[in-house]
Structure 1
């Protein structure tokens, strides 16, 4: 199958998605980044409690991974709006 055929098929089926199902899908998809952010900052707090002098380095790594995790939720909401408005 060619890539253009796959993209055409995906665009065709995107219009058939129920907006309610898209909202449920986004809600379920947002659970992962939510858990991820909680785990990231729990690890930062634990690391700071064990080695207070490493707080700056841990916070830098924590915010970097927070941004990467939060991008998943932003991509999910963009896909939700595309699916619900198609």
Structure 2
């Protein structure tokens, strides 16, 4: 394997993980903040707010894990080899 291609693949994998983490990270922070604000405004709706926010957080985390899976495959499945 060409060392330059391998290095480029590793850098691409790092960028993929980083970029796949930015969006969900910002989204998770927003969801958590809005959930706390909603619970503070309506304490009686805590169960519904918590359930909905946890489901949303799980979907956001799944997209981050997909990015990690793709990035871990990039150095080994490079089409330029």
Q: With structure 2 as the length reference, what TM-score do the two structures score?
A: 0.80
SS at match of 2:75: helix
Which residue is 1:77 aligned to? 68
SS in 2 for 1:85: coil
Cα separation, 2, equivalents of 1:57 and 1:83: 40
Structure 2 distance, partners of 1:69, 1:78, is 15
User: Where do 5+ consecutive residues of structure 1 fail to align?
Assistant: 1-14
Number of paired residues?
72
Which residue of structure 2 aligns with residue 62 of structure 1? Answer: 53
Give structure 1 regions of 4+ aligned residues with deviation exceeding 3 angstroms: none
**Bigger relative contact order, structure 1 or 2 (CA pairs below 8 A, ≥6 apart):** 2
The question of whether the paired residues in 1 share the 8 Å contact of 2:24 and 2:63 is answered with yes
Q: What value does the CA root-mean-square deviation take over the aligned residues?
A: 1.7
Taking structure 1 as the reference length, the TM-score comes to 0.76
